[in-house]
C-alpha cells in the first residue's frame, strides 16, 4: 500500500530522449508519452505557441508548413541537445503530460543518451531534465537500455550484441557479464535515409520535396532487401525548372538503391564493433547474433540485409521503437541492480 502511494506521489520516469521522438515510461504504468521531438515557436520572441502546448505531434504537423513568423524546430540533433531552453520546455511539457500536475514530489528519472555523448552534453541533459521537473536524474547509454528492454541475457558470460537504429544516431554495443565490452556510436542514422531521398528526387526528377515527404516515401517504399512484390507511389513536390507543383512516379527499386549507401555505412559501423571484440565473444556472436531496435529496425528487409552483410543471425525486437524506453523503466524498477552502471550528476555510481 505504501509503495503504491509513493509511486503515485512520486512516480519514476524512464525517458528515451531521441532526435526524432521522445518516449516516457511511468513506473508501474508503461509508456504514456510517445511524441515527436519538435517545438513550434514564434520567431521574434521564441515563445512556444499555443500557451506552451505546440509541442510534439502538433508541432510536427507544422514542419515545413509555417509562415515566416513561426518556426517548428527540433531541440536535438544527432542525439544531443542543440537548444537547451527549447529542450527544457519540451521535456517540461512531456513530463507534465506523463504524470499530471497533482504530484507532490519530483520523480526519479532514468534517461537514455548516446554512447559517445560528451561531458558537456551530459551536463546539458541533467540540467534540462532537472529544470523540467525531474528529481534525481540518472543517465544510461542507449545500447545498454536497448539490451535491457529487449530482455537480452547481458548479465551472463556470453556475448549479447544490440544495435539501436534511431533518427539521429546508430548505437551498437556488445555486452557481457552486465557491462559493455565494445561500443560504437555513429551519426549516420535514420535521418540520412530521408536526406538521401530528398537529394535523389532533386537530382533525378528536378523535384523539390521536404524531409517529411521523404520520410513518408521511406516508410511506403523503402527497403533494404528485394521485395517479393515491388511497387511504386506518386510523389508531389515543386518542379525546379518550371517552379510549379508537379508529381513523379517513384519505385521501390529506386528508393532501395538510394538507401544503399546509408545501409552500407550502418553495416560498416556494426562490423567495426564486432572486429573490436575479443575472439571468444566473436565466437559467441556466431550463435547469439544481433538484436535490432529503434525506428530504423522497421525498414523492410533490414534484418536480412545485415544478416548477409555481417554473417551472423539478426532479429528485430518485438516492439523496436519502444525498446529503449522500456529498458530505462526496467533500470528504474530494479535500481539497486543497475545503479552501478548508471551516470548521475555526481559521476558514475
Cell of 56: 510534439
Q: What is the chain's percent helix, strand, coil content, to nearest 5?
A: 40, 25, 30
Stated pTM of the model: 0.91
Domain with CATH 3.30.420.40 in the chain: 2-37+74-144+323-348, 158-188+261-320
CA 91 – CA 251 distance, rounded (Å): 39
Cell of 265: 555505412
Q: What is the pLDDT along the chain (349 residues), one digit of tens a residue?
A: 434 534 545 679 999 999 999 999 999 899 999 999 999 888 887 788 876 678 988 888 887 777 778 888 899 988 888 888 889 889 999 998 888 765 557 889 999 998 888 888 899 899 989 988 888 999 999 999 999 999 999 999 999 999 999 999 999 999 999 899 999 999 999 999 999 999 999 999 999 999 999 999 999 999 999 999 999 999 999 999 999 999 999 999 999 999 999 999 999 999 999 999 999 999 999 999 999 999 999 999 999 999 999 999 999 999 999 999 999 999 999 999 999 889 887 544 4
Place of cell 549516420: 188
- Residue 66, judged by CB atoms within 10 A of its CB (0-12, 13-18, 19+), counts as middle
Domain 2-37+74-144+323-348: assigned CATH number: 3.30.420.40
Four-way CATH pick for 158-188+261-320: 3.10.290.10, 3.60.15.10, 3.90.550.10, 3.30.420.40: 3.30.420.40
Q: Which fold has domain 191-258?
A: Actin; Chain A, domain 4 (3.90.640)
Amino acid at each position: 500500500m505504501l509503495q503504491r502511494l509513493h509511486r503515485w506521489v512520486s512516480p519514476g520516469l524512464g525517458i528515451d530522449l531521441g532526435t526524432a521522438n521522445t518516449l516516457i515510461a511511468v513506473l508501474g504504468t508503461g509508456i504514456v508519452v510517445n511524441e515527436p521531438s519538435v517545438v513550434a515557436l514564434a520567431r521574434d520572441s521564441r515563445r512556444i505557441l499555443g500557451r506552451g502546448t505546440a509541442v510534439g505531434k502538433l508541432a510536427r504537423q507544422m514542419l515545413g508548413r509555417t509562415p515566416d513568423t513561426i518556426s517548428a524546430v527540433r531541440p536535438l540533433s544527432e542525439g544531443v541537445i542543440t537548444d537547451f531552453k527549447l529542450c527544457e520546455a519540451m521535456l517540461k511539457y512531456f513530463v507534465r503530460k506523463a504524470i499530471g500536475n497533482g504530484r507532490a514530489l519530483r520523480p526519479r528519472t532514468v534517461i537514455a543518451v548516446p554512447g559517445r555523448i560528451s561531458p558537456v552534453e551530459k551536463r546539458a541533459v541533467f540540467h534540462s531534465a532537472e529544470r523540467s521537473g525531474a528529481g534525481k536524474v540518472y543517465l544510461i547509454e542507449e545500447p545498454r537500455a536497448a539490451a535491457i528492454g529487449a530482455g537480452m541475457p547481458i548479465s551472463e558470460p556470453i556475448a549479447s550484441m544490440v544495435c539501436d537504429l534511431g533518427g539521429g544516431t546508430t548505437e551498437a554495443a556488445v555486452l557481457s557479464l552486465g557491462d559493455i565490452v565494445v561500443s560504437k556510436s555513429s551519426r549516420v542514422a535514420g535521418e540520412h535515409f530521408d536526406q538521401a531521398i530528398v537529394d535523389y528526387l532533386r537530382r533525378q526528377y528536378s523535384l523539390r520535396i521536404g524531409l517529411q515527404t521523404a520520410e513518408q516515401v521511406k516508410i511506403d517504399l523503402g527497403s533494404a532487401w528485394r521485395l517479393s512484390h515491388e511497387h511504386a507511389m506518386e510523389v508531389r513536390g515543386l518542379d525546379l525548372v518550371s517552379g510549379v507543383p508537379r508529381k513523379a512516379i517513384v519505385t521501390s527499386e529506386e528508393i532501395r538503391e538510394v538507401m544503399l549507401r546509408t545501409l552500407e555505412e550502418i553495416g560498416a559501423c556494426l562490423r567495426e564493433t564486432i572486429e573490436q571484440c575479443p575472439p571468444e565473444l566473436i565466437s559467441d556472436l556466431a550463435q547469439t547474433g544481433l538484436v535490432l531496435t529503434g525506428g530504423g529496425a522497421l525498414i523492410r528487409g533490414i534484418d536480412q540485409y545485415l544478416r548477409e552483410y555481417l554473417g551472423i543471425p539478426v532479429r528485430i525486437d518485438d516492439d523496436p521503437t519502444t525498446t529503449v524506453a522500456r529498458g530505462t523503466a526496467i533500470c528504474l524498477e530494479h535500481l539497486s541492480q543497475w545503479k552501478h552502471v548508471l551516470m548521475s550528476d555526481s559521476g558514475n555510481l
